[in-house]
């Protein structure tokens, strides 16, 4: 073949590396070579350092703070306390959940590790010495770590709002109560359950854990007093929102604030909220006129920044004798810690927890969520959770298992019997969500077949018999999960954060030589946006992904966006990217028609060019069109080739998946071994299968951590027991099993390219799959419910309590 032969259409498509291509991640060249640029890599001339004096007590009155000795420490420049922030009205700050939070201890402390004073020094070591020299007089108060106790106790945690009977979400019925949030029809649900043939009831606890990104939170604040410009580099999952909040709090006009999220070493929801460290750094920079850096250490991160979960979910599920579900009732007691700093969309204090009817066609349902203050760290929505969807999925997938026990039915069959059928979509759930698309039976059958489910059940039954005969000490658990996610917040009409509607954005500039830059309102923390968003564009505008730069995270250059969390980047910013691309294409079409001397309607887009209809040899490539946009005067067409799209999604997207975990458990040691983990995900149109697989592997490993050992635990006086990696379980390659990934592809009908999010799915579906496997191993011996994490001691205890140790 002649070397000069023009590429075939197939080769042209492949050359774009567009939708569906497992393009290698472009960001990994720098990440794998230690060339990333993280916040702690930011070093500005004259930069100084701030760090916190933190409370050793979970609940105490702060009688006095003595800073004199600290100020004598060489290198220490200033010590900020609440008294210094008060004149600026910055000693408290608003939270995303409509509560307020102390920036620095104002009269009392409410959790161990709480920020008490901010020491500013010429270097980190001097700051540490300064912290040691600050003397705080505390008077200990009674500690409440149990939310049920807190709702009964005379001890008032939040004295600042003790007399306030109305909270951000309606009436407070006790001084430690934050809100009661309800959805669904309680009377009808109670009626359905009371008249049902079979009812299963269970308390399902999803313990407190922490997203624990490898890079902790931090920032560098730099106030340029000459030009009046404040620049803040930080580990922000939502840089534009941080800019708006910083402006509202400081009074500095928004155009004079530049927020930059450089490379981020994992976010997982931990970096959505606004922390005292940001406020104190900004204040310290304004006061000193110098750049101030604050970086958490690991203990700070695990003790004081956004925790996850801590949901006590009391469930009742009813069904007919042959297994058709008739109702679901759920009463949640939610431990929010000392301040309600949950990062939910404003109207949803329990996030999207009311997706808890899951994948099932349940005629009536009710959920009530009580938020409660305790002496624990604030936060609450974080950790690959899709705004509490992970709690919801765990709840319903446990309730299904318990119902299966009650019915004496196979749990896979019970699920299949109750799935929303493909012909029911779009489907409106009893709790008000409109599921966009799905095909659960196809996914479920594929999963069961892939693992030879029948064969596994036979093997399990044989194993139980062998165990009873004393021939083995290992049991076999088959953990099933079919989850439905809800991601892509999302419709501006009902989703906002601090009043900012949750749209997202993309702005594209095509350069004269046919390459481009696109800027988005989202920010990658490791998800690979620079790779995948270029792929969406490549397919939309016919410019190779390799010729498109994706830039995020600088509020001076990126269009306003709400950031990356809730797996919203693909559903919202991804849609904006496709729509902006289509604007580029529409203009390119006019230019092509002019160049080809035909009417606009006589050319059509084909991969990387516009061709004259019926005459494919007459065409202009996108590179030629881009050049013409800048060097030719085209009547009626402005020069240049740029577009911007702000996209308000009409609905959220509902990815789903079928996960099966096969686990061996040694009843004498509590040690588990994961023999097989099969994960089928359906996230609609797949942009980059390899990136999706990476997301699934990461999310499953975090799910493994949560289900099998990870925990934020406190003792009865509020001491944090798991604030180091000695105690907080992070899986290594040693504990991580091999995963088998699979997929079906049910496009979202309302997304421009049919894509749904996937970043949090593996965590949402993974936790119940691991946990159900543990439960299932002991089902034959009467286990109904055992709380996570299923570490070796707790698993041993299950076996022990069931009398399996002889």
Name which of ligand CUM, ligand MCN, none residue 692 binds, using a CB cut-off of 5 to 8 Å depending on partner kind. Answer: ligand MCN
Distance (Å, whole) CA 726 – CA 301: 15
By CB under 6 A, tell whether 381 contacts ligand CUM: yes
By CB under 6 A, tell whether 505 contacts ligand MCN: no
Work out the burial of residue 734: count CB atoms within 10 Å of its CB; fewer than 13 is exposed, 13-18 middle, 19 or more buried: exposed
Coil, strand, or helix at residue 699?
Answer: helix
Neighbours of 96 (CB within 10 A): 23
**Cβ closest to ligand MCN, residue 26 vs residue 595:** 26
Name which of ligand CUM, ligand MCN, none residue 92 binds, using a CB cut-off of 5 to 8 Å depending on partner kind. Answer: none
Token pair for residue 107?
């009269």
* Least distance CB 596 / ligand CUM (angstroms): 47
By CB under 6 A, tell whether 528 contacts ligand CUM: no
* Least distance CB 798 / ligand CUM (angstroms): 29
Query: Which candidate in 101, 112, 114, 237 is catalytic?
Result: 237
Question: What is the distance, to the nearest Å, from the Cα of residue 607 to the centroid of all Cα atoms in its chain?
Answer: 35
Coil, strand, or helix at residue 373?
Answer: strand
* Least distance CB 135 / ligand CUM (angstroms): 38
**Cβ closest to ligand CUM, residue 306 vs residue 607:** 306
* Least distance CB 643 / ligand MCN (angstroms): 20
Token pair for residue 97?
């959940």
Query: Is 760 assigned a catalytic role?
Result: yes
Residues 326-365 that bind ligand MCN (CB under 6 A): none
Query: Is 330 assigned a catalytic role?
Result: no
Name, in order, each residue with C-beta under 8 angstroms of 223's C-beta and a sequence gap of 6 or more.
Answer: 229, 230, 282, 285, 286, 289
Distance (Å, whole) CA 129 – CA 427: 60
Token pair for residue 398?
């446990």
- Selection from 706, 688, 709 nearest residue 762 by Cα: 706
Contact track, ligand MCN, 638-677, x by CB under 6 A? ----------------------------------------
Query: Which candidate in 219, 280, 342, 385 is catalytic?
Result: 385
- Exposure string of 498-513, with b = 16+ CB inside 10 Å and e = fewer, is eebbbbbbbbbbbbee
- Selection from 193, 186, 157, 192 nearest residue 174 by Cα: 157
By CB under 6 A, tell whether 566 contacts ligand CUM: yes
Token pair for residue 19?
């939708």
Name, in order, each residue with C-beta under 8 angstroms of 196's C-beta and a sequence gap of 6 or more.
Answer: 318, 319, 320, 326, 327
By CB under 6 A, tell whether 392 contacts ligand CUM: no
- 203 forms beta bridges with 314
Distance (Å, whole) CA 552 – CA 236: 11
Cα Rg, the chain, nearest whole Å: 28
Give the length of the chain: 806
Report whether the peptide linkage leading into residue 297 is cis, meaning its omega lies within 30 degrees of zero. no
* Least distance CB 326 / ligand MCN (angstroms): 34
* Least distance CB 12 / ligand MCN (angstroms): 22
**Cβ closest to ligand MCN, residue 55 vs residue 645:** 645
Q: Which of 177, 309, 336, 384 binds ligand MCN (CB under 6 A)?
A: 384
Q: Which of 189, 505, 564, 701 binds ligand MCN (CB under 6 A)?
A: 564
Report whether the peptide linkage leading into residue 426 is cis, meaning its omega lies within 30 degrees of zero. yes
Name which of ligand CUM, ligand MCN, none residue 200 binds, using a CB cut-off of 5 to 8 Å depending on partner kind. Answer: none
Contact track, ligand MCN, 728-757, x by CB under 6 A? ---------------------------xxx
Q: Which of 235, 318, 688, 722 binds ligand MCN (CB under 6 A)?
A: 688
In the β-sheet with 672-682, what is the strand arrangement from edge to edge?
474-484, 656-666, 672-682, 740-743
Query: Which candidate in 384, 568, 609, 686 is catalytic?
Result: 384
Helix (H) or strand (E) holding 583: helix 575-596
| Dihedral angle computed from the Cα positions of residues 115, 121, 126 and 128, in that order, rounded to the nearest 10 degrees | 10
Question: What is the distance, to the nearest Å, from the Cα of residue 109 to the centroid of all Cα atoms in its chain?
Answer: 29
Distance (Å, whole) CA 745 – CA 442: 10
Residues 122-151 that bind ligand MCN (CB under 6 A): none
By CB under 6 A, tell whether 695 contacts ligand MCN: yes
From 52-60, 138-146, 201-209, 262-270, give the range in contact with ligand CUM by CB under 6 A: 262-270
Token pair for residue 746?
């049910």
- Selection from 439, 363, 22, 375 nearest residue 196 by Cα: 363
Name which of ligand MCN, ligand CUM, none residue 527 binds, using a CB cut-off of 5 to 8 Å depending on partner kind. Answer: ligand MCN
By CB under 6 A, tell whether 269 contacts ligand CUM: yes
By CB under 6 A, tell whether 275 contacts ligand CUM: no
Coil, strand, or helix at residue 124?
Answer: helix
DSSP assignment of 218-253 equals EEEEEEETTTTEEEEEE--S-HHHHHHHHHHHH---
From 267-275, 531-539, 726-734, 748-756, give the range in contact with ligand CUM by CB under 6 A: 267-275
By CB under 6 A, tell whether 242 contacts ligand CUM: no
By CB under 6 A, tell whether 352 contacts ligand CUM: no
Taking CB atoms, the residue at the shortest distance from ligand CUM is 269
Residues 288-307 that bind ligand CUM (CB under 6 A): none
Contact track, ligand CUM, 200-239, x by CB under 6 A? -------------------------------------x--
- Selection from 503, 555, 493, 565 nearest residue 96 by Cα: 565
From 74-82, 144-152, 351-359, 528-536, give the range in contact with ligand MCN by CB under 6 A: 528-536
**Cβ closest to ligand CUM, residue 264 vs residue 611:** 264
From 312-320, 410-418, 614-622, 685-693, give the range in contact with ligand MCN by CB under 6 A: 685-693
By CB under 6 A, tell whether 701 contacts ligand MCN: no
Question: Could you tell me if 765 and 385 are in contact, meaning their C-beta atoms sit under 8 angstroms apart?
Answer: no
The region that residue 151 occupies, defined by phi over 0 for left and psi between -120 and 50 for alpha, beta otherwise, is alpha
Query: Is 237 assigned a catalytic role?
Result: yes
By CB under 6 A, tell whether 670 contacts ligand CUM: no
Q: Which of 395, 483, 565, 605 binds ligand CUM (CB under 6 A)?
A: 565
Query: Is 506 assigned a catalytic role?
Result: no
Token pair for residue 62?
């702060």
By CB under 6 A, tell whether 698 contacts ligand MCN: yes
Contact track, ligand CUM, 623-652, x by CB under 6 A? ------------------------------
**Cβ closest to ligand CUM, residue 203 vs residue 214:** 214
Query: Which candidate in 115, 397, 540, 760 is catalytic?
Result: 760
By CB under 6 A, tell whether 348 contacts ligand CUM: no
By CB under 6 A, tell whether 307 contacts ligand MCN: no
Count of residues near ligand MCN by CB under 6 A: 34
**Cβ closest to ligand MCN, residue 333 vs residue 522:** 522
Count of residues near ligand CUM by CB under 6 A: 15
Output the 3-class SS for 634-664.
Answer: CCCCCCCCEEEEEECCCCCECCEEEEEEEEE
Distance (Å, whole) CA 16 – CA 546: 8
Q: How far separated are the first and last CA of the chain, in Å rounded?
A: 77
Question: Which residues are designated catalytic?
Answer: 237, 384-385, 760
Binding site for ligand MCN (CB under 6 A): 266-269, 384, 525-529, 532, 564-570, 683-688, 691-692, 695, 698, 755-760
Binding site for ligand CUM (CB under 6 A): 237, 267-269, 272, 381-387, 565-566, 760
């Amino acid at each position: 073949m002649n070397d000069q032969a023009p590429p075939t259409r197939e080769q042209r498509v492949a050359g774009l590396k567009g939708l569906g291509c497992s393009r290698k991640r472009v960001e990994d060249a720098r990440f794998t070579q230690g060339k990333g640029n993280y916040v702690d890599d930011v070093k500005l001339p004259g930069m100084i350092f701030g760090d916190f004096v933190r409370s050793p007590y979970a609940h105490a009155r702060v009688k006095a703070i003595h800073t004199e000795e600290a100020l004598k420490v060489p290198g220490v420049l200033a010590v900020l306390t609440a008294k210094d922030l008060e004149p600026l009205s910055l000693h408290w700050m608003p939270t995303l959940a409509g509560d307020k939070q102390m920036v620095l201890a104002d009269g009392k402390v409410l959790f161990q590790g709480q920020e008490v004073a901010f020491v500013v020094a010429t270097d980190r070591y001097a700051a540490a010495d300064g912290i040691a020299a600050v003397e705080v007089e505390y008077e200990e108060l009674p500690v409440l770590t149990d939310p049920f106790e807190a709702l009964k106790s005379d001890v008032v945690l939040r004295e600042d709002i003790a007399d306030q009977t109305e909270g951000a979400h309606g009436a407070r019925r006790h001084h430690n109560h934050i809100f009661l949030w309800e959805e669904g029809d309680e009377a009808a649900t109670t009626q359905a359950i009371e008249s049902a043939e079979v009812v299963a009831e269970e308390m399902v606890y999803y313990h407190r854990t922490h997203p624990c990104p490898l890079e902790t939170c931090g920032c560098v604040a730099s106030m340029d007093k000459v030009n009046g410009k404040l620049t803040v580099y930080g580990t922000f999952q939502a840089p534009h929102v941080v800019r708006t909040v910083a402006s509202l709090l400081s009074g500095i006009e928004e155009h004079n604030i530049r927020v930059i999220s450089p490379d981020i070493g994992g976010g997982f929801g931990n970096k959505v909220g606004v922390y005292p460290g940001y406020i104190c750094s900004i204040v310290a920079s304004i006061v000193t006129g110098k750049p101030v850096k604050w970086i958490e250490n690991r203990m700070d991160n695990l003790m004081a920044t956004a925790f996850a979960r801590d949901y006590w979910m009391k469930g009742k599920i009813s069904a007919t004798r042959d297994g058709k579900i008739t109702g679901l009732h759920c009463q949640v007691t939610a431990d929010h810690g000392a301040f309600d700093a949950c990062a939910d969309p404003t109207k949803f204090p329990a996030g999207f927890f009311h997706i808890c009817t899951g994948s099932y066609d349940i005629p009536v349902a009710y959920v009530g969520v009580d938020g409660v203050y305790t002496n624990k760290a604030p936060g609450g929505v974080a950790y690959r959770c899709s705004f509490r969807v992970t709690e919801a999925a765990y709840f319903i997938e446990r309730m299904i298992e318990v119902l299966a026990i009650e019915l004496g039915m196979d749990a896979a069959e019970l699920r299949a019997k109750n799935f929303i059928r493909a012909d029911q979509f779009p489907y409106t759930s009893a709790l008000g969500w409109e599921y966009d698309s799905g095909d659960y039976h196809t996914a479920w059958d594929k999963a069961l077949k892939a693992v030879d489910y029948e064969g596994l059940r036979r093997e399990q039954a044989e194993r139980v018999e062998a165990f009873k005969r004393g021939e083995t000490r290992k049991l076999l658990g088959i953990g099933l999960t079919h989850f439905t996610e809800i991601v892509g917040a999302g419709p501006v009409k009902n989703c906002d954060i601090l009043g900012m509607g949750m749209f997202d954005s993309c702005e594209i500039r095509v350069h004269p030589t046919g390459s481009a830059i696109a800027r988005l309102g989202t920010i990658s923390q490791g998800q690979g946006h620079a790779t995948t968003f270029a792929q969406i564009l490549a397919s939309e505008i016919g410019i190779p992904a390799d010729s498109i730069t994706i830039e995020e995270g600088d509020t001076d250059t990126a269009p306003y966006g709400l950031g990356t969390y809730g797996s919203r980047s693909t559903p919202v910013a991804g849609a904006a990217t496709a729509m902006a691309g289509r604007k580029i294409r529409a203009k390119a079409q006019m230019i092509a028609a002019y160049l080809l001397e035909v009417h606009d309607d006589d050319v059509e887009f084909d991969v990387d060019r516009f061709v004259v209809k019926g005459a494919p040899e007459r065409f202009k490539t996108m590179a030629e069109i881009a050049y013409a946009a800048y060097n030719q005067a085209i009547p009626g067409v402005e020069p240049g080739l740029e577009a911007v799209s702000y996209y308000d999604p009409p609905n959220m997207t509902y990815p789903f998946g079928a996960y099966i975990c096969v686990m061996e458990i040694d009843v004498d040691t509590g040690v588990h071994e994961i023999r097989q983990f099969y994960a089928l995900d359906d996230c609609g149109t797949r942009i980059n299968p390899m990136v999706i697989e990476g997301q699934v592997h990461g999310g499953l490993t975090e799910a493994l951590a949560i289900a099998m050992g990870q925990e934020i635990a406190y003792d009865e006086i509020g001491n944090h027991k798991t604030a180091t990696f000695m105690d907080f379980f992070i899986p290594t390659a040693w504990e991580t099993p091999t995963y088998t990934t699979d997929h079906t592809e049910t496009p979202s009908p309302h997304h421009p390219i049919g894509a749904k999010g996937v970043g949090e799915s593996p965590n949402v579906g993974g936790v119940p799959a691991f946990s159900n496997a543990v439960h299932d191993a002991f089902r034959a011996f009467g286990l109904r419910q055992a709380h996570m994490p299923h570490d070796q001691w707790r698993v041993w205890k299950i076996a022990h309590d069931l009398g399996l140790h002889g």
